[in-house]
Chain A
Amino acid sequence: MGKTLFDKVWEAHTVRELPNGMTQLLIGTHLIHEVTSPQAFGMLRDLQLKVLYPHRTFATVDHIVPTDEREEPFSDALADAMIKELRKNCDDFGIKFFDISSGKQGIVHIVGPEQGITQPGTTIACGDSHTSTHGAFGAVAFGIGTSQVRDVLATQTMALRKPDVRRIEVDGKLSPGVYAKDVILHIIRKLGVNGGLGYAYEYAGSTFDNFTQEERMTVCNMSIEGGARVGYVNPDQTTFDYLRGRPYAPAQENYDAAIARWKSFASDKDASYGDLVKYAASDIGPTVTWGINPGQAIFIDENIPSPEQLAEKDRSTAEEAYAHMKLRPGQPIKGTKIDVAFLGSCTNARLSDLMEVAKYLKGKKAKGGVKAIVVPGSQSVAAVAESMGLAEIFREAGFEWRGAGCSMCLAMNPDKLIGDQLCASSSNRNFKGRQGSPTGRTVLMSPLMVAAAAVTGEISDAREIFGLS
């Protein structure tokens, strides 16, 4: 019987079995940011421990960073204290920090891949649940809590229990106007927000084979929204081509050897899985959420489900969702007025996302009264986008072009919804209060759908607005 990539990576990184039956697993790459690491460094100091492999930890600042006024000190004293604390911790422990002045700062899950730090056959951890993003490269990547950040700093390992692997195959070609974001929203809608509990997700099939690395990242990113802590795609030529020449990728003279090693981690043809589900790409349409978790999603041309259309276990959350979202069951989602359009986050703020939107947005304008912002995922993304003239296209369309960070995905910086504003958002969570106002409302969708909503001022079908067919 063959093995999955997950099995092989797990085996190669197993240190030993712990007395309680968990595995002590080596975490080769540790990514840290300002929100979940300061307490971990505090614990490290209390225990008088050092960072075991400082050269395998990489830091950046993303959650609290302002996207407009970026000069220090930040106007928010708490945010200012947090960036300074991270800078000090990186200095004290010899950790590489992609600081704002580096020109390489950005959302940690965008910086890792673009620097070539994220590699196949490796284990990665970060104190952020969207660490699953890195699985797009055939890495096994875990979101962790702060005590585990401490564990990884001090021992380069964590105590983990091995999950089962569920293979999710999507086959065929997506229709025009349907994107990787729609694929993952569809998967979560079908399997539920807790359907992935106890599983690592392996995404496969011809749809994934034909995806770019950035599209694979969008899908892996939201694995956790389906309850799966880990999601990955087997590495292939697309992966190797993406990584070649990046700053932390293996040097050119060693690259062929690296590819051979990386390929050896891919799942065997006869690997066994805990579960297997299949979807057809042609069945997936532009998808938007209507509720307060990412599984409460429908196609743009569907109506908001009524309680009797839902499984009994989903009804009470649906009632809570109608009330919070101020939406009525049985009504179309299309045509719902929006106040804010947010194009950003670790799900959808990479260059390809901005290019795709700019292609259609060029010459169009955001509707008066809609606050539209673009927050590139990293300074590197921003720089390339600016040199390509994308920033100008967005500005001319009435979007604010901002500096890199997490921004309105979780609103730990000054970018927040106000009152019960409704936001068309390319981010990953529509939880109550997620975008900074307890009564704020979030509708998740693909970047092009965000642009369509910005242009019309209401939730719209991007295929109609931009003439895709």
Chain B
Amino acid sequence: MALPRISQIAGTGVYVPGDDVDTDRIIPARFMKCVTFDGLGEYAFYDERFEEDGRPKAHPIDNPKYAGATILLGGRNFGCGSSREHAPQALYRHGFRAVLAESFAEIFFGNAITLGMPCLVMDGRDIRALAALIDEAPQAEINIDIPNNQVSIADISFPAVLPDHAREALVNGRWDAIADLLEGLETVKATADKLPYMRAA
């Protein structure tokens, strides 16, 4: 299960302003009536993008100016609420490959890293400055340099950080933990054997 090493991401960006953007907003619950994640991409931010009668609401991710954006910019506590992996899956399947925000809710963060979609924390002022640069030059390439904790556009750079464990996992191609976890199975059994409640009834 060799995974690609993720250390540099390049693409154009789109800013979705707002704090505490919860996972119900990222993918409304009615779209979770499914047994696969296929097709979730078109429902990302659905109720923020469309009126109930289907008319578009002019959401940034539908703005032709930002067409093809693969880097999503957000606010504070991005991805709070429900643990639904459907949320990062919907963003990934919509085409996003990284999220830059002031802070992330913990479960969303872990789910996104497991998909190989880095979530980097930036200062709020830097996010807004980057958003302003994108607004001026929407097709300008943004470069995310994961090992060096940096995001740049044209010749301007901003600090953008990942916790050590996530950075290590991404740059070494170990962002999906399953291979590492399977390697520890013997020790898992030894640990379980010490716990009375793990015994079969």
**Closest beta carbon of chain B to A333's beta carbon, Å:** 20
Chain A residues near B85 (CB-CB < 8 A)? 36, 39, 127, 145-147
Whether the pair B198, A433 counts as a contact (CB closer than 8 A) is no
Chain B residues near A225 (CB-CB < 8 A)? 81
Whether the pair B201, A55 counts as a contact (CB closer than 8 A) is yes
Chain A residues touching B, range: 35 or more
Residue in B18, B84, B105, B197 whose CB lies within 8 Å of A316: B18
Q: How far does the alpha carbon of A129 sit from the alpha carbon of B176 in the complex, in Å?
A: 20
Whether the pair B163, A161 counts as a contact (CB closer than 8 A) is yes
Asked whether A150 is an interface residue with its Cβ less than 8 Å from the other chain, the reply is yes
Known A39-B35, A145-B84; judge A56-B198 contact (CB<8 A): yes
Asked whether A24 is an interface residue with its Cβ less than 8 Å from the other chain, the reply is yes
**Closest beta carbon of chain A to B16's beta carbon, Å:** 13
Q: Which positions 49-95 of chain A face chain B at CB distance < 8 Å?
A: 49, 52-53, 55-56, 63-64, 76, 78-79, 81-82, 85
Chain B residues touching A, range: 35 or more
Chain B residues near A47 (CB-CB < 8 A)? 1, 178
Whether the pair A81, B105 counts as a contact (CB closer than 8 A) is no
Known A227-B80, A412-B33; judge A28-B198 contact (CB<8 A): yes
Whether the pair B19, A53 counts as a contact (CB closer than 8 A) is no
Asked whether B154 is an interface residue with its Cβ less than 8 Å from the other chain, the reply is no
Stretch at the interface among A12-20, A342-350, A451-459: A12-20
Q: How far does the alpha carbon of A38 sit from the alpha carbon of B111 in the complex, in Å?
A: 16
Chain A residues near B195 (CB-CB < 8 A)? 12-13, 26, 28, 122
Known A154-B182, A317-B18; judge A194-B103 contact (CB<8 A): yes
Asked whether B64 is an interface residue with its Cβ less than 8 Å from the other chain, the reply is no
Whether the pair B178, A21 counts as a contact (CB closer than 8 A) is no
Q: How far does the alpha carbon of A131 sit from the alpha carbon of B83 in the complex, in Å?
A: 10
Asked whether A305 is an interface residue with its Cβ less than 8 Å from the other chain, the reply is no
Asked whether B55 is an interface residue with its Cβ less than 8 Å from the other chain, the reply is no
Q: How far does the alpha carbon of A131 sit from the alpha carbon of B163 in the complex, in Å?
A: 25
Q: How far does the alpha carbon of A159 sit from the alpha carbon of B19 in the complex, in Å?
A: 28
**Closest beta carbon of chain B to A421's beta carbon, Å:** 13
Chain B residues near A155 (CB-CB < 8 A)? 178, 181-182, 184-185, 188
Q: How far does the alpha carbon of A131 sit from the alpha carbon of B181 in the complex, in Å?
A: 22
Asked whether B52 is an interface residue with its Cβ less than 8 Å from the other chain, the reply is yes
Residue in B169, B178, B191, B198 whose CB lies within 8 Å of A14: B191
- 18 A-B residue pairs with Cβ-Cβ distance under 8 Å, sorted by A, are A15-B187, A19-B168, A24-B188, A26-B191, A26-B195, A35-B84, A39-B85, A79-B33, A122-B195, A127-B83, A151-B177, A156-B188, A224-B107, A313-B19, A410-B82, A429-B22, A433-B28, A434-B24
In the A-B complex, the 5 residue pairs with the closest CB atoms: A145-B85, A145-B111, A159-B177, A38-B35, A78-B33
